[in-house]
Structure 1
């Protein structure tokens, strides 16, 4: 399975960390955000990384060149920052079958493999991790509205008045049907083509959508304090170095 990694953003909210680099090149625990994404995806068995670049794209290309840990990298260019669905469409010509999608500014230590397994076994049109966040943070994300049975009936991008605190995280799997849906998306109130609107179109057309509860943790590195929090979590998870034995 191929993986598309969205890495075109400026990271204006991460300033001053992004004064001289794109968002995905901000270091967390000694390596760029994008390296964390690549490592997670390679652990999931991807055979090609398709990286959507934009702002300061050459910084990314110069750093990684055409492969990472033996896995080939193909770059596509999002010329204008018009939203995640718009970014995804730049990768369409490189996708023939089911694929993974990861936002390059998220760090996961979670059950990503459950999403991939569901996609491979059930052949869904979309599967993604969801988690409950504090209500005052829900408006930062794509929010899932559910019915009385807990089934997702609508996905809404960054609503002012969230109907729930169940939100999509930055990891998905899709069938190629997502590209047709992305082409039908209209600009949101923010003027962007939202990936949540594309997923909602799949949902409303009766396509198979699966949401899987996050088991573990993930941090969306949107602000400097998020970077610090992610670094602390990663360092806490690292095993202590063994004590040296006197000789």
Structure 2
């Protein structure tokens, strides 16, 4: 398996707390979050890693000193959503191996990677059924299949919060790639990379959900998310 990490964004909802650094470079127990992620992937035998950078990328390269990785720079990080990042990474998105795509500001326990590596279905989006009232991007699924998605879902409609990680087996990589190339060709620059997968649900395709409830994770969107990470690390060290 190879891993594509999205780390180009500014993170406007938390940026005033970050002293000009990308979200993926917040300190977690004395090291940048992105370095923690790389160490975790390496521990699990994953070394084919590509990262899309943009905002203040120098901090990311400093954080990853000593690691081998491919890097693509997205100069449009302020004017387009993550569809532009997968466009710049298109040469990495090939069906030679399964791929995990993750947002760079996700902190996760080791068990999350174990789940990813053991997953046989595709495409799969990770979700957490224990997070409903405070959920940001919401999923509704039945029998592990995604039915509805979006921030506008009510608590009653929501069965879990999206974790920020997706899995594509080799059979789904070419359709995914064509999907984001078409989106760019249609000037759909507000599109997120996940939207390419979600839109297949509307056409009747199966998108599977793996529920990781009970395993700690957090995406650094708000300062409260970062505080949760620090408290978890403090408690579990």
Q: Which bin holds the TM-score, normalised by the shorter protein?
A: 0.7 to 0.9
Paired with 2:153 and 2:210, the residues of 1 have a C-alpha distance of 24
Partner of 1:88: 86
How big is the shift at 1:9?
1.8
Partner of 1:76: 72
Aligned ranges for residues 83-232 of structure 1 at < 5 Å? 83-97=81-95, 98-109=98-109, 110-118=111-119, 121-122=120-121, 124=122, 126-138=123-135, 140-141=136-137, 143-147=138-142, 149=143, 151-156=145-150, 158-159=151-152, 161=154, 163-175=157-169, 176=173, 177-185=175-183, 192-214=190-212, 215-232=214-231
TM-score normalised over the length of structure 1: 0.79
Report Cα offsets for 1:72-120 as digits up to 9, x if no partner: 21111121232233322221202323211121111111433222222xx
> Where do 5+ consecutive residues of structure 1 fail to align?
239-247
TM-score normalised over the length of structure 2: 0.82
CA RMSD between the two structures: 2.5
Paired with 1:165 and 1:154, the residues of 2 have a C-alpha distance of 10
Report Cα offsets for 1:187-245 as digits up to 9, x if no partner: 88xx621233211223344555321110411111222232222111012112xxxxxxx
> Where do 5+ consecutive residues of structure 2 fail to align?
none
